A and B are shown apart, each in its own frame.
Chain A
Amino acid sequence: MMRKVIILFVVVLFSLSCEKVIDIPLNEADRRVVVEATLYDIPNESCVKITKTGSVYDDEGFEKISNAVVTVVDDLGQTHTFSEDPANPGTYLDSTFIVMPSRVYSLTIVNGSETYTSEAETNSTPALDSLDYQVQTDGFFQEPGDTNFFTFYSFTDVAAETNFYQAIPIKNGKPSGTDYITDDALFNGNSFRQPFFADSFESGDTLDALLLSMNEGAYTFYLSLAANDDGGGFAPTPANPVSNIEGDAIGYFGAFTTDVLTIVFP
């Protein structure tokens, strides 16, 4: 968030800058296996994608890994097998699977002679308390006279748990692109209210506010992924997002419990 503020500042300050595409020769890293395993408490949303890294200047798409054996076992001993979607090679699905709160899920992927594993613990299901807004005229980066709904979401944290949240504003069916990620360190056990400060909504817009509670591994991955995003002089030394996959693979395993609230702006 802080970095966004600073970038905004730089934008205001430097209208004098110029951009151009330059030629920079790059090394070729060894190909790595990439796992994207996301389990939700929403039917048919859970899926595991297995791909490979590619070369920076190659735009032919990424290699998919087929014929892997993907299983998810929960702490009650139930085993769920995810099978490859014939229409989407490298994507593994289990239409019967649904994430439950306060469980531990273990992921095992067998890819030929290699095995990748990970674990994810879910907390209690989050609950959005409310969505409310302030009407602003002549707001930040707006045309004169424009009206804008500055929207807040609020929820209450469970004190006994260490929670990791992500709020996703979906405007007219499309995720806005800004993810609001936070842990509960600053508001453990309290109610929390924050604006979707990077998003503006106009009269007639529909907002579906999605709130996710996730395992720490997924949170760390998202946070470290976002840290590389900003570029420019204010970004830290870029690094690979922190993976929670064991074995010779990168990527992450996330288990999410969710809640959604909808509002239509008058």
Chain B
Amino acid sequence: MNLLKSLSILVVLLMTSVSFSQDEKFTLSGTLKDGSSGEDLIGARVTVKELPGTGAITNAYGFFSLTLPAGTYTINYKSLGFVSGSFEVELTDNIQKDIELKPEGKVLGKVEVTAEKADANVTSAEMGVDRLSMSDIENIPVLFGEKDPLKTIQLLPGVKSAGEGNAGFYVRGGGSDQNLILLDGAPVYNASHLLGFFSVFNSDALKDIKLYKGGAPAEFGGRLSSVLDIKMKEGNQKKFSASGGLGLISSKLTLEAPIVKDKGSFIISGRRTYADLFLKLSKREEAKNSTLYFYDLNAKANYKIGKKDRIFLSGYFGRDKFGFADAFGFDWGNITGTARWNHIYGEKQKLFGNTSFIFSNYNYKIKFGSGDQTFEIGSEIQDFNLKEDFTWYINDNHTLSFGANVIHHTFKPGEIETGDGIGFQLNDIEKRYSIESSAYVSNEHEIGKRITLIYGVRGSNFAQVGPGDVYSFDVDGNITDTSTFEKWDNIKTYWGLSPRLSSSFRIDENSSIKAGYARTFQYLHLISNSTASSPTDVWLPSSINIKPQIADQYSIGYFRNFLDNQLEMSVEFYYKDMQNVIDYRDGAEVTLNPTVEGELLFGVGRAYGAEFLIKKRRGKFTGWVSYTLSKTEKKFTELNNNNWYPAKQDRTHDVSIVAIYNLNKQLTFSASWVYYTGNAVTFPSGKYEINGQVVNYYTERNGYRMPDYHRLDLGCTLKHKDYKEVKDPDTGEMKQIPKKWLSSWNFSVYNAYARENAYSINFTENEETGETEAVQLALFKIIPSVTYNFKF
């Protein structure tokens, strides 16, 4: 009923906006680009001097479209980190104009690509959104000096780290599997390398990172708590360039070049770790024969066909390899691919269309034994996704987005193969297939100068299809019935309607109040009862036994900028209600279990909190202080006597302080400090003896806390001068000539004051005294690292 109401309101709002067309109007459209590399500028601002308050913001492809009454205008454009400019235009016809902006000053190795306008924080209706600048990622110190966007976002309010040095993250009480992580639109099913200590994202290949913590636009769906939208660089349109780095554990190299200057370009970026090369130097045979590394390869190409069409091809391929001689091998990784076609429709160029074909695959393989005596276990999830998105720049007050997509998912929870010499064959775990489709419409609506609304709705459908055997379970998880389905038979269908609303009311030039509501559905579930992310975690679709997870999130916030937008402040409150969240029966076996659905329990969750952020964005000194006060709880009939209990990731207090100081053009210092309440954990409240061993006795679930966590990281980047001083032979004056080869050193220290933060606490018997002791394991003390970066 509610949904119908919101739909009809949407329709009415749209009708009122489109119905009246008065004087003759024309459209000015185009693309804003970085003049030095040709990269599109996302979120840059185009304004009309004669019509204050009228303007446009470039989309993810640098495209803007402005419809104005015929006349002569002065168009201003600006983008953070670039020299602002303006031009005059006589609008008597539809005009397309591409604009190139010059970078502000010459900054080595990095161009501030995040180009958001200075007061976007206050003016935009979007809330619960964080955008990371690549320069923040470059400067903030991280573990082993391995720049990682997923670790940098953990320093934002409402985002929590999944554990020591871990690239996994929790957003507003959601699980780490409730984040939709997109790389050029393709979902990345397991975003971690080396058991979560590194993410699959090589920051050298990335252009833009945006995190929606709540109220994601209707374009996105499929996960409960957040959307992390990552876009790869397009490659230098102007000239060949190469950049790279040599680090403590990995090396990287990126090549980019135009295919045809200003028409098309490509980028290839690779990274490989080399811990195993040190193992080769070891005297111990076991170390010598061990394999332990990961690599990533990102590639992207784009080409402009005429003025209205552009084609993109991008892909990611990464893999972890761990093994020992012939006896044992374990490898896993993601493959994603995106083919995309941008088209600007119509004479007026008011409709921007985007057709994408997206592929994603995650798989792992474990192999024991050699020769014909082998035993192999594998698992895989694979998607084919066809997606169509449109943005219609109706007029100055309305921007309408709409689209649809359909995904075919294949799940292979467990494929088991044995060599001929083993003499027997194990059954595979049944494959599953499903079709996930959705359609959405959303409108960004400006009402007067003070109010901006983004309202929309997303409808989704999820169908589990045959072939396959489907089990029914009783309340204790025992099989009661088995039904067999043929290929393409419809086993179970779910529908979901998600209304989305976000609104902003501007109090004055510098402050605004925003409020939002969003409903989200999640049809794919990561089956994992371990604390940290594991490569062997398997995704399963919604089915007869697994209902989709549903969340409703309400949020309200106050945003204020100070000192000419140099200082941003925000307070946001959220409340989230979750249904059909998953937990596991006590002692559940979730790996390689054909009837794993019987091990799952379904309950409810709730999360609420307040997020405070003060951020300084410009100047010599930049950084932020963020504080989150929150609570996350779950309730299951079968667990903890049906009482609410704190979720593992429930951390009452969470503080991050980030400071970056640019001493001069050569030297930058950075520091970050984090503090959070320890995770909720289950400790024993008694013990007993059984089978000759002492076993802990537990009473309350997650009734205890790990010790508080805190850590300081320090970093320093030293850039060599980007020019040579040469004496002019004629005049005798000193002249500065730009260098071709640019380089920098990055030094960092992880956990600078060597805090022993608890990774785990085990209650075990001391072997000598027989006494039970609480033994704390701390992973990393001080870890210094150094990286050398170059660019030419």
Contacts and interface: CB of A to CB of B under 8 A. Distances in A.
Interface residues of B, number: 89
Contacts of B426: 186-187, 190, 192
A185 interface: yes
B89 interface: no
- Most chain A CB within 10 A, of B425, B584, B587, is at B587
Given A36-B690, A142-B286, A242 B759 contact: no
B695 interface: yes
Given A12-B292, A193-B423, A227-B587, A19 B775 contact: yes
A237 interface: yes
Interface string B284-298: 111001101000000
Contacts of A192: 424, 426
B588 interface: yes
Interface residues of A, number: 76
Contact of B587 (A136, A140, A143, A223): A223
A27 B686 CA distance: 8
Interface string A92-134: 0000000000000000000000000000000000000000001
B770 A241 contact: no
A140 B760 contact: no
A240 interface: yes
B681 to A, nearest CB: 8
Given A19-B775, A187-B424, A242 B289 contact: no
Interface string A54-98: 111101001000000000000000000000000000000000000
Contact of A237 (B591, B682, B779): B682
A34 B690 contact: yes
Contacts of B667: none
B328 A140 contact: yes
Contact of A225 (B422, B587, B686): B587
B684 A26 contact: yes
Interface string A166-201: 000000000000000000011110111101010000
B195 A13 contact: yes
B532 A233 contact: yes
A220 B759 contact: no
Nearest to A146: B285
B586 A234 contact: no
B759 A17 contact: yes
A206 interface: no
B699 A29 contact: yes
A6 B195 contact: yes
B325 to A, nearest CB: 7
B756 interface: yes
A108 B430 CA distance: 41
A10 B777 CA distance: 12
Q: Which of B584, B687, B688, B779 has the most CB of A within 10 A?
A: B688
A9 B591 CA distance: 17
B53 interface: no
A42 interface: no
B534 A185 contact: no
Contact of B688 (A10, A51, A197): A51
Contact of A185 (B290, B593, B775): B593
Nearest to B197: A13
A223 B592 CA distance: 14
Contacts of B775: 19-22
A236 B529 contact: yes
Contacts of A59: 769-772
Given A2-B592, A5-B366, A55 B686 contact: yes
B415 to A, nearest CB: 12
B531 interface: yes
A228 B783 contact: no
B195 A10 contact: yes
Nearest to B423: A193
B684 A56 contact: yes
Contacts of A232: 759-760, 762, 777
B427 interface: yes
A16 interface: yes
A207 B685 CA distance: 39
Interface in B512-555: 529-532, 534, 536
B70 to A, nearest CB: 65
B780 interface: yes
Given A16-B780, A191-B423, A193-B422, A54 B688 contact: yes
A250 interface: yes
A232 B196 CA distance: 14
Q: Which 7 A-B pairs have the closest CB atoms?
A: A224-B587, A236-B529, A29-B685, A239-B586, A233-B532, A29-B686, A53-B688
28 contacts: A16-B780, A16-B781, A17-B778, A17-B779, A19-B777, A20-B778, A21-B775, A22-B761, A26-B685, A26-B704, A29-B699, A31-B686, A32-B688, A51-B688, A59-B772, A141-B286, A154-B423, A186-B416, A186-B592, A190-B426, A191-B423, A225-B587, A228-B696, A236-B531, A236-B588, A241-B695, A242-B585, A251-B690
Interface of B: 163, 194-195, 197, 284-286, 289-290, 292, 322, 324-325, 327-328, 330, 366, 368-369, 373, 416, 422-427, 529-532, 534, 536, 584-589, 591-595, 648, 681-691, 695-704, 707, 756, 758-764, 769-781, 783
Given A16-B783, A56-B763, A140-B324, 16 more contacts: A10-B195, A17-B779, A18-B756, A21-B773, A22-B758, A54-B686, A56-B686, A62-B689, A140-B327, A154-B424, A186-B427, A193-B423, A227-B587, A233-B532, A235-B531, A237-B531
